Chains A and B, each alone.
Chain A
């Protein structure tokens, strides 16, 4: 079980990291989402894996660790807020720069031309 779970987290991380390194906002956002799935599962599993041990008092004999669950719940909600923000930011990027690159190929108005008037070159 542990191996399967570990492989799942590994696959999520790998896919997420690969997408994170893409050149456009959309894959990056998808990559971040995958990473956060992986991270949530990881944090969750820091309390170890249990079957049928839901931490509802009285529902079972032995309980799984409730603390990581609470942490992950917090992490999920925060992750959602962050994802929403970054999605909207990529929309803003699209609006401002008319395409969705994040690799420096656009969006940056070149600063070079203004260099001419440097003091050093004035004479």
Chain B
């Protein structure tokens, strides 16, 4: 068994525990150790990515108990992609936080690392209940992070976020109960095998459970009508937290990809493509809602928060259609949009830090400091987010457009995506020109200097949209291979045959 597989979980866990012990250590030490942990995590995920690229499934059986009895981690291309994407994002968000956002609360780094741990478990686990536990780990850490930073603005949205997710968790457990009560198992691969044997009432129970699970994932993913907790919560979170949260909705999307392709995929007999007919129209409406929200946004952070919703709709539409090309396209776009949105949250924070009391509001204010740098970063981010050439967002959207070939779905997806892009351009150009160009005379009190950390972190995340373009070919090859792997259910099921340690030969 390959012990690298637990590295992305153990590294942040140990880092987090260390932080819990070090509450009263000097901040420089805590920062160094925390950042070191994130770097180590990134290294480990890259190792996993390289391993996963051979296209095989790797299994890690906790306690050396074979599946379906014990909990297993499964590494495949999709998991590796999510891990690396998250680790890269985390590294820069973390770097940004060291610019001062981590002050005022000794638990920040610990919570940050625990959140990564939860995310990584979610991406790797092959067990339905363990996925619930992973969700809880990442959620509870996110609750803490969301409230980080003092002030009263984030309390109410935080409360909404927490309560809704608690209900979501309850629904998750009910779904697990329904599914277990019929299939008697929790391992995803085993479930995929067992759902084929169902009929009658049992089938309907699993169907209902599966649909409720979809609601849970849709809540995490912020799919309409379950998306309204997001904009205010994200807009008011501390910038590096908001940046990290860019990946949170993606967990829901990941879960839909993983669970629905494996258990309720094309080959699932009576349960094939469960719920996908709901998902497609909702995704398009979500996208539309996101565009409306971004047009009406009155601060940059709110604008970016609605961009998260736009991304969700954009991602789930092709996933709902379920073609291999569509999934590959969605994965490509996923990578792009996650980093871009995160970068834009950081840009918005830079704006807020340099504009005195106007913060990041889309209003006229005295000319901000460091305008050139920040406006260039915003421009790049906005172009990538709106999906204009030549940045990564364009290629993502292009892949998505290209992945549907005919029929009414194509008409709908194209119209909504393209018209949505148009209005997004309007929203960004309006916001950008007001914030960066339209100035009045006035004095801004000396802002905090833009530290190297802040510049580097923001620049790097925004710059990733260029990197993605530069490596668009290889990345697309990878996502193609990932989509193909995801569609090949039979290969995943072979993990059930993996020998345990001591059983080889």
- Cα A20 to Cα B166 in complex, Å, equals 11
Interface size on B, residues (CB 8 A): 37
- Cα A24 to Cα B43 in complex, Å, equals 46
- Cα A42 to Cα B181 in complex, Å, equals 10
Q: Check if B501 is an interface residue, CB within 8 A of chain A.
A: no
The stretch that binds A, out of B167-175, B278-286, B306-314, B377-385, is: B167-175
Query: Are B155 and A97 interface neighbours, CB within 8 A?
Result: yes
Nearest B residue to A70, CB-CB = B129
Query: Are B166 and A122 interface neighbours, CB within 8 A?
Result: no
The stretch that binds A, out of B156-164, B196-204, B391-399, B491-499, is: B156-164
- Cα A122 to Cα B181 in complex, Å, equals 64
Query: Are A102 and B363 interface neighbours, CB within 8 A?
Result: no
Q: Check if B177 is an interface residue, CB within 8 A of chain A.
A: yes
- Chain A nearest Cβ from B468, distance in angstroms: 33
- A2 cross-chain contacts in B, Cβ below 8 A: none
Query: Are B433 and A74 interface neighbours, CB within 8 A?
Result: no
Give 8 pairs: A residue, B residue, CB < 8 Å, sorted on A: A47-B181, A68-B177, A74-B129, A89-B158, A89-B162, A92-B155, A111-B298, A117-B363
- Against A, the Cβ 8 Å flags (1 = close, 0 = not) of B136-161 are 10001001100100001101101110
- Cα A69 to Cα B312 in complex, Å, equals 36
- Chain B nearest Cβ from A2, distance in angstroms: 12
Query: Are A89 and B177 interface neighbours, CB within 8 A?
Result: no
- Chain B nearest Cβ from A71, distance in angstroms: 6
- Cα A78 to Cα B143 in complex, Å, equals 14
- Cα A45 to Cα B144 in complex, Å, equals 33
Q: Check if B180 is an interface residue, CB within 8 A of chain A.
A: yes
Q: Check if B81 is an interface residue, CB within 8 A of chain A.
A: no
Query: Are B361 and A86 interface neighbours, CB within 8 A?
Result: no
- Cα A92 to Cα B150 in complex, Å, equals 11
Q: Check if A61 is an interface residue, CB within 8 A of chain B.
A: no
Q: Main SS of chain B's interface residues?
A: helix
Query: Are B174 and A78 interface neighbours, CB within 8 A?
Result: no
Query: Are B159 and A71 interface neighbours, CB within 8 A?
Result: no
Q: Check if B178 is an interface residue, CB within 8 A of chain A.
A: yes
Query: Are A71 and B136 interface neighbours, CB within 8 A?
Result: no
- B186 cross-chain contacts in A, Cβ below 8 A: 67
- A78 cross-chain contacts in B, Cβ below 8 A: 133, 136, 169
Across the interface, A82 reaches (CB within 8 A) one of B133, B140, B152, namely B140
- Chain A nearest Cβ from B52, distance in angstroms: 29
Nearest B residue to A40, CB-CB = B173
Q: A85-B143, A96-B152 are in contact. Are A102 and B169 (CB under 8 A)?
A: no
- Against A, the Cβ 8 Å flags (1 = close, 0 = not) of B262-294 are 000000000000000000000000000000000
Q: A97-B156, A119-B438 are in contact. Are A86 and B163 (CB under 8 A)?
A: yes
A-facing residues in B336-380 (Cβ within 8 Å): 361-364
- Residue among B144, B147, B170, B181 with the most chain A CB within 10 A? B170
- A30 cross-chain contacts in B, Cβ below 8 A: none
Across the interface, B180 reaches (CB within 8 A) one of A46, A93, A108, namely A46
Q: Could you list which residues of chain A lie within 8 angstroms of chain B, going by C-beta atoms?
A: 20, 25, 28, 32, 35-36, 39-40, 42-43, 45-48, 67-68, 71, 74-75, 78-79, 81-82, 85-86, 89-90, 92-93, 96-97, 102, 107-109, 111, 114-115, 117-119, 122
Across the interface, A71 reaches (CB within 8 A) one of B158, B169, B170, B176, namely B176
Q: Main SS of chain A's interface residues?
A: helix
Q: Check if B7 is an interface residue, CB within 8 A of chain A.
A: no
Query: Are A102 and B140 interface neighbours, CB within 8 A?
Result: no
- B156 cross-chain contacts in A, Cβ below 8 A: 93, 97, 102, 107-108
Q: A74-B133, A96-B152 are in contact. Are A43 and B174 (CB under 8 A)?
A: yes
Nearest A residue to B362, CB-CB = A118
Query: Are B147 and A114 interface neighbours, CB within 8 A?
Result: no
- Chain B nearest Cβ from A74, distance in angstroms: 7
In the A-B complex, list the 10 residue pairs whose CB atoms are closest, starting with the nearest.
A96-B152, A46-B181, A46-B177, A107-B156, A43-B177, A117-B363, A96-B155, A39-B170, A119-B434, A39-B173
Query: Are A20 and B167 interface neighbours, CB within 8 A?
Result: yes
Query: Are B166 and A32 interface neighbours, CB within 8 A?
Result: yes
- Residue among A46, A102, A122 with the most chain B CB within 10 A? A46
- B136 cross-chain contacts in A, Cβ below 8 A: 78, 81-82
- Cα A3 to Cα B362 in complex, Å, equals 58
Nearest B residue to A68, CB-CB = B180
Query: Are A25 and B166 interface neighbours, CB within 8 A?
Result: no
Across the interface, B159 reaches (CB within 8 A) one of A46, A89, A114, namely A89
- Cα A119 to Cα B194 in complex, Å, equals 61
- B129 cross-chain contacts in A, Cβ below 8 A: 71, 74
Query: Are B163 and A115 interface neighbours, CB within 8 A?
Result: no
Across the interface, B177 reaches (CB within 8 A) one of A32, A42, A90, A107, namely A42
- Chain A nearest Cβ from B269, distance in angstroms: 22
Please give 12 more A-B residue pairs, beta carbons under 8 A apart, in addition to A43-B176, A108-B156.
A35-B167, A43-B177, A46-B177, A46-B178, A68-B177, A71-B176, A71-B180, A78-B133, A82-B166, A89-B158, A107-B155, A118-B362
Query: Are A25 and B159 interface neighbours, CB within 8 A?
Result: yes
Query: Are B298 and A115 interface neighbours, CB within 8 A?
Result: yes
- Cα A75 to Cα B143 in complex, Å, equals 18
Across the interface, B160 reaches (CB within 8 A) one of A36, A46, A85, A102, namely A102
Query: Are A28 and B163 interface neighbours, CB within 8 A?
Result: yes
Nearest B residue to A93, CB-CB = B155
- B434 cross-chain contacts in A, Cβ below 8 A: 118-119
- A115 cross-chain contacts in B, Cβ below 8 A: 298
